[in-house]
Structure 1
Amino acid sequence: MINLKYKPTIEGNKVILRPFESQDIDFMVEALEDKEVMKFTGSSAFFDKEFLINWYNTRNEQVDRLDLAIIDKANNTVVGEVVINEYDEIKHSMNFRILIGPGGRNRGLGTEATILVCDYIFLNTDLKELTLGVYAFNPRAQRVYEKAGFILDSIDKADLEYEGEMIDALNMVLTRKRWEEIYYKGDTLN
């Protein structure tokens, strides 16, 4: 098991990743109710606000996962979240996911947030890989993951039904070895 009790603040050029604060919850409710977020995450249209308040208020206490808010440095607002969760003991890996609400799209914030959290994980844990799933009808997210070094590992055919159409889930992986080849030389990041 990986201990992710420490919740860092990670600063990039465009974003800051930091532990959740109580004032972030309203934005996260709004983001989770966004039609595009619901489509690309396969979520339902209803969220119990009390459940979400409790959920985000307890993220910083979790030791088996890392949940960080994505802050847009240009206007100091929350635009989404990055999450490392679901430890796989056999592969010594964890799952990565990201959510960007409408105020943070199409400006490279998701790409930077993805790279920052992957760097943090590989520099501060001994995990062998990060994995993720993305639906085939979300090419924008696929490009973000590819820019960060993730490669296609497998496909779950017809994993989601959306508006009467069956959508494949693409399973992607970023191994420590690949991350080191792309980003890490000796004791410094490229």
Structure 2
Amino acid sequence: MSTTSKLTGKHIYLRPLELKDAALMAHSINNDEEGRRLTGTHKVFTETDIERAIEAFSQDPSRVDFGIVRREDDRLIGDIVLNEISAINRDAGMRVALFDKFTGKGHGTEAIQLMLEYGFGILNLHRVDLEVYSINPRAIHVYEKIGFKKEGVKRQNWYYNHEYYDTVLMSILEDEYRERYVEQ
């Protein structure tokens, strides 16, 4: 999927992931135990793993991967993805992750709003969905604040650290987004 070069918000901007991001991403993913738990990440990633993924993702027409970058210092603080993009169904999945010390500052909310504007405005999507684990009420609250609606629950489908957890399915439709964020 071809992407724009940059989507700019008030405090952050989104830009395509670059190979130079791999070292920081590997370090952040591997050293944030709470982030790994909340995202269900079991695997440890090497810098080479991340580089290969960035290269593969950039060639995949069914996804758009952006780095989330703070405007004040051009520091990469996370990533956000639209994946499984279907031009026929006009839908996609979304995934977002912030490096640990950058959570709770509104950067994730701003990144999601920028990505939704891109998805609905540029990619002409009708629906964006996501899955979030029940042990992450902070993320569920953010998604609901943005306008995502709960669609259902996959009961005890995720196993982590010797316990089972639910996965909450959420989505937002283009008209729901437009009613909240686009001036008439």
TM-score by length of 1: 0.88
Instruction: Please give the per-residue CA displacement for 1:123-154, whole angstroms capped at 9, x wherever unaligned.
Output: 11222100000001101111221122111011
Deviation at 1:97, TM superposition (A): 0.6
**In 2: Cα distance, 1:58 partner to 1:7 partner:** 18
Q: Which of these residues, 1, 7, 24, is aligned with residue 27 of structure 1?
A: 24
Q: What secondary structure does 1:185 align onto?
A: coil
Counterpart for residue 144 of structure 1: 142
> Matched residues in 1 for 2:84 and 2:159: separation?
24
Residue 53 of structure 2, aligned match among 55, 64, 68: 55
How many pairs are equivalent?
A: 183
Q: Is the 8 A contact 1:67 1:84 kept in 2?
A: yes
For 1:8 and 1:178, locate their aligned partners in 2 and report how far apart those are by CA, in whole Å.
27
Relative to the length of structure 2, the TM-score reads 0.91
Higher mean Cα deviation, 54-63 or 136-145? 54-63
Measure the CA separation in 2 of the matches of 1:65 and 1:8.
15
1:157 maps to 2:150: no
Task: Note if contact 2:26-2:46 (Cα within 8 Å) is conserved in structure 1.
Answer: no
Answer yes or no: is the 8 Å Cα contact 2:157–2:165 preserved in 1: yes
Superposed CA RMSD in Å reads 1.7
Q: Is the 8 A contact 2:3 2:16 kept in 1?
A: no
Q: 2:9 aligns with which of 9, 12, 15?
A: 12
Check conservation: 2:22, 2:47, Cα contact below 8 A: no
Of 101, 104, 113, 1:103 maps to: 101
- Please name the residue that 2:72 is paired with: 74
Residue in 1 that maps onto 2:116: 118
Q: Any conservation in 2 of the 1:96–1:130 contact (CA below 8 Å)?
A: yes
SS at match of 2:170: strand
* Percent identity for Structure 1 against Structure 2: 27
Whether contact under 8 Å (1:85, 1:95) holds in the other structure is yes
